[in-house]
Amino acid sequence: MKISILVFCLIISVGCRKAAAPPSASAPPQAQAGASPQLDHSQGGATPSAQTKHFKGSIGSSLDLQMKLVRTGDQLAGSYFYQKVGTRIDLRGSVDKDGNLTLEEFDKSGKQTGLFKGLWAVDANDGLITLAGNWSKPPGEKDSDKKTAFSVHEEPIAFTGDVDLVAKQIKESNKKLMYDIDARYPQLTGGSNPNFEKFNQVVRAPVLKEVAGFKKAMAPEESEEPRPEGSMGSDLNVSYEVALAQDDLISVGFSIGSYYQGAAHPNTVSDVVNYDLKNGKLLKLADLFKPGAKYLQAIANYCIADLKKQGKDKGLLDEEIQNGAAPNAKNYQSWTITKKGLGISFDAYQVGPYAAGPQYVLVPYSSLKDLINPEGPVGQFAK
């Protein structure tokens, strides 16, 4: 895994996936969820089996919320926590046939501490669940009439048993040296698969290395003049997005942004971790296809055509696209696995000098069907 995180500055865009950034806390929750939400097949309350859903998003200005809900018919149970705090808050509630959601939250003593009310709806873009609405104090308490917008989006996580994928955070500020660090990475907990810890090490080590490298670069040399008070500082940000996570496979896209004081522009790069949890190894793109298959040409053909369509509105140039998306391994290092296709991420400099950030293309498995190894990691999705 080539993850020196400034090279691990992973955006899989996120690996070519659309970033599922939570909507602004000030946005009207009804508009976020949609006036006429499309509901999944279980929303009528007739599904007897339990379904576990993982969500990530925000309440108000807190953008680091993680939530886990188990849905059995129209009943919901689970918990949520803020990454920077870590304390889990219990949830119980329900969702009716129209997607109207009610969740009551409780502290460790069993006292109700809050109330979520909103909508449970299917996102038309990726088929995953979005919950959006308002949080308030319990009815009858002081200021219970004050509302705070919340919005969380389902992550494509489908582990069995007691396995969880949780976010770890490194957050530091140094006023004297004028820098801020906010680095996040996923870790698997629970379960008995020894390969889980191997994955954790693969993801954790380069993030820690990147943070250490950034701090070393910030340390002043003996002859260096003190940085002017009030001037713009430096920062390092590492974020990630889960493209797919299940018992035998996990695919995560990373984005690392950095700015060094005095530089003209910030720097952002992308990378991914695609890990075979069954066999305990990192996956190469070639592992997905039949031996000898000309998969790079097929992927490139699709990406070039798609980027040219996108280019009309994004300032991409045909010549840059032809070079940046040409069928060579260097251009296709940031890829993720989703249930619908391969997410390919291109850093902005690859496909046009005027591109506003990384570009993402989802290559459907149907366009690669004859090349994919049916017994390989994505064979289950390409059938």
Query: Which CATH class for the 164-218+229-283 domain?
Result: alpha beta
What's the CA gap between 134 and 118, in Å, rounded? 6
Q: Where in the chain is the domain with CATH 2.40.128.30?
A: 34-155
DSSP string, 319-354: HHHHHHTSSSGGGG--EEE-SSEEEEEE-HHHH-TT
Q: What's the confidence (pLDDT) of residue 182?
A: 94
Q: What's the confidence (pLDDT) of residue 176?
A: 87
Lowest mean pLDDT among 18-22, 78-82, 118-122, 348-352: 18-22
> Quick check: helix, strand or coil at residue 239?
strand
Q: What's the confidence (pLDDT) of residue 82?
A: 87
What's the CA gap between 73 and 115, in Å, rounded? 20
Measured at the CA of 63, the angle between CA 16 and CA 4, to 5 degrees, comes to 45
Lowest mean pLDDT among 172-176, 219-223, 274-278, 326-330: 219-223
Lowest mean pLDDT among 57-61, 83-87, 269-273: 83-87
Q: Is the pLDDT of residue 4 over 50?
A: no
Q: Which long-range contacts (CB under 8 A, 24 or more apart) does 372-380 make?
A: 372/288, 372/289, 372/290, 372/293, 373/287, 373/288, 373/289, 373/290, 376/287, 376/288, 376/289, 377/249, 377/274, 377/276, 377/283, 377/287, 377/288, 377/337, 378/288, 378/337, 378/342
Q: Which fold has domain 287-382?
A: Actin; Chain A, domain 4 (3.90.640)
Is residue 365 within 8 Å of residue 47, measured between CB atoms?
A: no
What's the CA gap between 296 and 286, in Å, rounded? 9
Q: Which residues lie below 8 Å from residue 249, measured CB to CB, with a gap of 6+? A: 274, 275, 276, 277, 278, 337, 377
Q: What's the confidence (pLDDT) of residue 86?
A: 75
Tens of pLDDT, residue by residue over 294-310, are 999 999 999 999 999 98
Tens of pLDDT, residue by residue over 137-155, are 999 999 999 999 999 999 9
Q: What is the DSSP letter of 91?
A: E
Q: Which long-range contacts (CB under 8 A, 24 or more apart) does 201-205 make?
A: 202/1, 202/273, 202/275, 202/282, 203/252, 203/273, 204/168
Q: What's the confidence (pLDDT) of residue 24?
A: 37
Tens of pLDDT, residue by residue over 63-121, are 789 999 999 999 999 999 987 777 889 999 999 999 999 999 999 999 999 999 999 99
Q: What's the confidence (pLDDT) of residue 21?
A: 38
Dihedral sign computed on CA atoms, order 280, 285, 290, 291:
negative
Q: Which tops the pLDDT comparison, 225 or 173?
A: 173
* Tokens 């000098």, located at residue: 353
Q: What's the confidence (pLDDT) of residue 231?
A: 66
Question: Residue 171: beta bridge partners?
Answer: 182
What's the CA gap between 109 and 103, in Å, rounded? 17
CATH number of 34-155: 2.40.128.30
The chain-wide mean pLDDT, for the chain, equals 85
C-alpha distances (whole Å) from 208 to each of 5, 176, 182, 281 are 9, 22, 12, 20
What's the CA gap between 53 and 77, in Å, rounded? 10
Tens of pLDDT, residue by residue over 226-266, are 666 666 789 999 999 999 999 999 999 999 889 988 787 78
Question: Of 65-69, 196-200, 314-318, where does the model show the most confidence?
Answer: 196-200
Residue 35: half-sphere exposure toward Cβ, Cα within 13 Å: 0
Q: Is the pLDDT of residue 3 over 60?
A: no
Q: Which residues lie below 8 Å from residue 303, measured CB to CB, with a gap of 6+? A: 325, 344, 346, 361, 363
Dihedral sign computed on CA atoms, order 340, 344, 345, 346:
negative
- pTM attached to this predicted model: 0.79
Which pLDDT band, with edges at 50, 70 and 90, does 313 fall under? confident
Question: Residue 249: beta bridge partners?
Answer: 246, 276
Q: Is the pLDDT of residue 180 over 90?
A: yes
Q: What's the confidence (pLDDT) of residue 106?
A: 97
